[in-house]
Amino acid sequence: MKEALMDEALVLIIDDVPEIVDELVTMLSLLDIPALGAGSLSAAVTALENAPALRAIACDVRLAQESGLEILQRIADHPELSARSYHFLFMTGDPMRPDAIHAQQKYHLLSKPVQPRQLIEILQELLAVPDTTHA
Amino acid sequence: MLEGIQRFLTGSHAAFPGRRTALSLATILIATLCLTPIFGQTPTLTLAFFFAGLLKRRWAVLIFAAFAIVHAQWAGWFQAVTAACVFLVAHGLRKWVRQPSDATILASCLTFPIVIVAGWAPLGEALRWAAAFVLGTALADLAVAAAARGNRAFPRDATLAMRPVAALTAIINTLTVIILDLLARPLPRPVDETLAFTFIDERLTLPALLILTLVLQFYSRQLSHLLEGKPDDEPTSSRPHVAGSAVPQVAGAATYNGDRTGVFAQAPGVPTLRSISRLSFDAQAGRLDFSEGTAATSANSLQIHIDDVSRVIESVDRGDTILRFQANIGADLEPMLLAMTGRTGKWHWESGILLHHNHQWRHSIALARRARHAELGARVLTIAHELRQPLCTIAVAAENQRLILANAAPGKSAGQLAERIERITEQVNRATTIIEQILNYGRTSASTAAEVDVAETLRRCCGFLAPIFEEHAIELDFSIENGWHGTIMPPVELEQVFVNALQNAADSIVSRRHAGWTEAGRITCSVATCDGLISCIIADNGAGLSECHAGSAFDAFFSTKAEEGTGLGLFISREIILRAGGKVSLRPSSEGALLAIQLPATTNIAQMSARASRIVN
- Contact between A21 and A50 under an 8 Å Cβ cutoff? The reply is no
Which of chain B's residues have a Cβ under 8 Å away from the Cβ of A28?
none
Which of chain B's residues have a Cβ under 8 Å away from the Cβ of A91?
392
Q: Tell me how long chain A is.
A: 135
pLDDT in tens, B332-352: 777 777 878 777 777 888 888
If we measure between CA atoms, which residue out of B15, B189, B207 comes closest to residue B103?
B15
Mean model confidence pLDDT for chain B = 64
Q: Decide if B389 touches A, using CB distance below 8 A.
A: yes
Residue A113 to residue B404, Cβ atoms within 8 A: no
CA distances, A32 to each of B403, B405, B442 (Å): 11, 15, 46
Residue B106: the pLDDT is: 54
Residue by residue, what is the 3-state secondary structure of B240-251?
A: CCCCCCCCCCCC
Question: Which range, of B30-44, B78-92, B424-438, averages the lowest pLDDT?
Answer: B30-44
Q: For the residues B361-374, what does the mean pLDDT come to?
A: 64
Please give the residue range of the domain that contains residue B432.
364-445
- Contact between A40 and A16 under an 8 Å Cβ cutoff? The reply is yes
Q: How far does CA B584 lie from the centroid of its chain?
A: 20
Residue B407 to residue A23, Cβ atoms within 8 A: no
A&B contacts, CB < 8 Å:
74
pLDDT bin (cut points 50, 70, 90) of residue B250 is very low
pLDDT in tens, B419-470: 888 888 888 888 887 777 777 666 654 456 778 899 998 988 888 788 788 8
In terms of pLDDT, which residue wins out, B244 or B566?
B566
Residue B263: the pLDDT is: 33
Residue A43: the pLDDT is: 94
Tell me if B561 is assigned to some domain.
Answer: no
Whether the bond into A113 is cis, omega within 30 of 0: yes
- Contact between B292 and B240 under an 8 Å Cβ cutoff? The reply is no
Q: Is the pLDDT of residue B120 over 60?
A: no
Q: Decide if A101 touches B, using CB distance below 8 A.
A: no
Residue A120: the pLDDT is: 93
Helical ranges in chain A per DSSP H? 2-8, 18-30, 41-50, 70-77, 98-104, 116-128
Tell me if B508 is assigned to some domain.
Answer: no
pLDDT bin (cut points 50, 70, 90) of residue B94 is low
Q: For the residues B407-422, what does the mean pLDDT come to?
A: 75
Q: Decide if A94 touches B, using CB distance below 8 A.
A: yes
CB-based contacts of B237, cutoff 8 Å, min separation 6: B282, B284, B285
Q: Does pTM surpass 0.80?
A: no
Q: How far is B415 from chain A (nearest CA, A)?
A: 14
The residue among B402, B419, B445 that closes a domain is: B445
Q: Is the pLDDT of residue B138 over 80?
A: no
Q: For the residues B264-268, what does the mean pLDDT come to?
A: 36
Residue B385 to residue A31, Cβ atoms within 8 A: no
Tell me if B95 is assigned to some domain.
Answer: yes
Q: Is the pLDDT of residue B416 over 60?
A: yes
**Which superfamily, per CATH, for A2-128?**
Response regulator (3.40.50.2300)
In terms of pLDDT, which residue wins out, A130 or B154?
A130
Percent of chain B with pLDDT over 90: 4
Residue B287: the pLDDT is: 86
Q: For the residues A63-78, what does the mean pLDDT come to?
A: 89
Report the CATH number that the domain containing residue B428 is assigned in CATH.
Answer: 1.10.287
CB-based contacts of A2, cutoff 8 Å, min separation 6: none
Could you say which of A62, A97, A113 has the minimum Cβ distance to residue B392?
A: A113
Residue B461: the pLDDT is: 85
The residue among B445, B480, B506 that closes a domain is: B445
Tell me if B593 is assigned to some domain.
Answer: no
Q: Is the pLDDT of residue B542 over 70?
A: yes
Tell me if B21 is assigned to some domain.
Answer: yes
Residue B148: the pLDDT is: 44
Residue B146: the pLDDT is: 47
In terms of pLDDT, which residue wins out, B372 or B362?
B372
Question: Choosing among B383, B400, B407, which should be mutated to test the A contact, i.e. which has the most A CBs within 10 A?
Answer: B400
pLDDT in tens, B460-512: 888 878 878 887 888 889 888 888 888 888 887 888 889 889 988 988 898 88
Parse chain A into domains and list their residue ranges.
2-128
The residue among B391, B425, B445 that closes a domain is: B445
Q: For the residues B378-404, what does the mean pLDDT come to?
A: 83
Tell me if B597 is assigned to some domain.
Answer: no
Tell me if B195 is assigned to some domain.
Answer: yes
Residues 417..436 of B with a Cβ closer than 8 Å to A: which?
423, 426-427
Residue A123: the pLDDT is: 94
Q: Is the pLDDT of residue B154 over 50?
A: no
Please state the domain count of chain B: 2
Percent of chain B with pLDDT over 70: 42
- Contact between A44 and A37 under an 8 Å Cβ cutoff? The reply is no
Q: Decide if B380 touches A, using CB distance below 8 A.
A: no
In terms of pLDDT, which residue wins out, B60 or B366?
B366
Question: Which range, of B267-271, B346-350, B355-359, averages the lowest pLDDT?
Answer: B267-271
If we measure between CA atoms, which residue out of B531, B527, B550 comes closest to residue B603?
B531
Measure the CA–CA gap between B613 and B251, rounded to whole angstroms.
9
Measure the CA–CA gap between B217 and B222, rounded to whole angstroms.
9
Residue B227: the pLDDT is: 38
Q: Decide if A111 touches B, using CB distance below 8 A.
A: yes
Tell me if B293 is assigned to some domain.
Answer: no
Measure the CA–CA gap between B97 and B23, rounded to whole angstroms.
10
pLDDT bin (cut points 50, 70, 90) of residue A15 is very high
Q: How far apart are the first and last CA of chain B?
A: 53
Residue B510: the pLDDT is: 86
Q: Decide if A30 touches B, using CB distance below 8 A.
A: yes
